[in-house]
């Protein structure tokens, strides 16, 4: 076991809610600090996960892990004298723990509280509205985890994050919800209908697919926001862009000054030639 000094980490709802508790981030690695491979150490890891660790006379027991922590073979431990104390902390987060039909789902929902995020504004439950998910003709869910945030609320969130402009969308955590919300104007039909049903302006429109557990946490926490990113051309992107061109016999859209097929393929050929050199 290698002990590292305290280091700043991005906040999460867990750390903010139990700020008076001692937490320990535990990474399970090989001796050379590489990712684990093989099954030789599984017995030892199982003992650590079930019985915990004792450091400096303080017992630390497993609380949970977010999805990203699991990918990195890490987890969050909390200082606790007994497993019952840890269970009470978990029950304070997931008040409806008995409603989960599997350990895997319970662990995944608990991990949502450990996601690194940034707290912004408070949104009252009375200012939110649930609407049905949208499905395709074949029954496929089109709006899985996707809702809407009113422009006014989005502007306050952007200001809280120190952003110069309001992003088009946010990945968020709020109450027991997770997912993505797009910023909607006042004339959005779904937002208008939600406001009519509430009898007041709707700040957050969510769908059943976004609800993961019950929680009284009203802070709108942002995991990430929409932003411009550099992309590289590849065959898939070229195929996607060329599929959007005007059909044969029709004029190209306003502003189009080049043949997308020829231009994109020429750029790809030049890139391949440069790589070959």
The answer as to whether 7 is a domain residue is no
Residues 67 and 163 in one domain: no
Confidence of residue 39 (pLDDT cuts 50, 70, 90): low
Examine residue 1 and state whether it is found in any structural domain, yes or no.
Answer: no
Pairwise pLDDT comparison (31 vs 54), residue with the higher score? 54
Q: Is residue 41 part of a domain?
A: yes
Q: Quick one: pLDDT band at residue 57, thresholds 50, 70, 90?
A: very high
Give the pLDDT confidence score for residue 257 in this predicted structure.
47
Q: Is residue 264 part of a domain?
A: yes
Distances (CA, A) of 151 to 35, 173, 181: 44, 18, 11
Q: Please check whether residue 6 lies inside any domain of the structure.
A: no
Query: Between 16 and 236, where is the model more confident?
Result: 16
Task: Out of 87-101, 139-153, 167-181, 238-252, pick the least confident.
Answer: 238-252
pLDDT of residue 250: 61
Asked if residue 2 belongs to a domain, the reply is no
Query: Which is more confident, 63 or 34?
Result: 63
State the chain's mean pLDDT as an integer: 87
Gyration radius from the chain CA atoms? 24
Place of tokens 């150490």: 41
**100 and 126 share one domain:** no
> Could you tell me the residue range of the domain that residue 96 belongs to?
13-114
Write out pLDDT tens, residues 139-195: 889 999 999 999 999 999 999 999 999 999 999 999 999 999 999 998 999 999 999
The domain boundary, picked from 69, 90, 114, lies at 114
Domain final position from 56, 82, 114: 114
Taking the alpha carbons at both ends of the chain, their separation in whole angstroms is 48
Pair 151, 54 in one domain: no
Which residues have C-beta within 8 Å of that of residue 59, sequence separation ≥ 6? 52, 53, 79, 80, 81
pLDDT tens, position by position, 192-234: 999 999 999 999 999 999 999 888 889 999 999 998 888 787 8
Q: Which residues pair with 128 in a beta bridge?
A: 204
Which of 27-36, 51-60, 103-112 shows the lowest mean pLDDT across its residues? 27-36
CA distance 21 to 86: 11
Structure tokens at 46: 């199982």
User: Do the Cβ atoms of 97 and 106 come closer than 8 Å?
Assistant: yes
Domains contained in the chain, number:
3
Q: Are residues 107 and 55 in the same domain?
A: yes
Is residue 205 located within the same domain as residue 123?
A: yes
Whether 84 is covered by a domain: the verdict is yes
Asked if residue 181 lies in contact with residue 149, where contact means CB atoms within 8 angstroms, the answer is yes
The neighbouring-strand residues paired with 170 are 181, 225
Residue 5 is assigned to a structural domain of this protein: no
Over range 253-267, report the average pLDDT: 63
Q: Choose between 262 and 218: higher pLDDT.
A: 218
Q: Does 190 share its domain with 218?
A: yes
DSSP, collapsed to helix, strand or coil, labels residue 177 as: strand
**Sheet strand arrangement including 118-122:** 118-122, 219-225, 169-174, 177-184, 146-150, 204-206, 128-130
Q: What is the pLDDT of residues 122-144, one digit of tens each?
A: 999 999 999 999 998 888 899 99
């Amino acid at each position: 076991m290698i002990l590292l000094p305290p280091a700043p980490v991005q906040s999460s709802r867990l750390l903010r809610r139990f700020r008076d508790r001692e937490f320990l981030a535990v990474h399970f690695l090989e001796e050379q600090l590489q990712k684990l491979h093989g099954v030789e150490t599984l017995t030892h890891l199982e003992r650590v996960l079930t019985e915990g660790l004792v450091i400096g006379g303080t017992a630390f027991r497993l609380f949970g892990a977010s999805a990203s922590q699991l990918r990195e073979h890490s987890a969050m431990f909390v200082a606790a004298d007994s497993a019952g104390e840890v269970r009470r902390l978990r029950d304070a987060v997931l008040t409806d723990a008995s409603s989960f039909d599997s350990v895997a789902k319970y662990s995944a929902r608990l991990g949502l509280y450990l996601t690194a995020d940034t707290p912004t504004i408070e949104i009252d439950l009375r200012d939110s509205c649930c609407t049905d998910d949208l499905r395709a003709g074949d029954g496929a869910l089109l709006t899985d985890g996707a809702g809407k945030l009113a422009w006014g609320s989005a502007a306050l969130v952007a200001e809280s994050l120190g952003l110069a402009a309001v992003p088009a969308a946010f990945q968020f955590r709020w109450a027991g919800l997770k997912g993505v919300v797009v910023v909607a104007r006042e004339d959005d039909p779904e937002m208008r209908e939600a406001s009519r049903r509430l009898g007041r302006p709707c700040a957050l429109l969510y769908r059943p697919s976004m609800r993961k557990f019950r929680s009284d946490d009203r802070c709108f926490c942002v995991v990430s926001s929409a932003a411009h990113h550099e992309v590289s051309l590849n065959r898939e992107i070229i195929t996607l862009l060329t599929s959007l061109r005007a059909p044969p016999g029709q004029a190209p859209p306003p502003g189009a000054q080049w043949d997308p097929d020829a231009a994109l393929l020429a750029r790809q050929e030049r890139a391949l030639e440069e790589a070959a050199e």
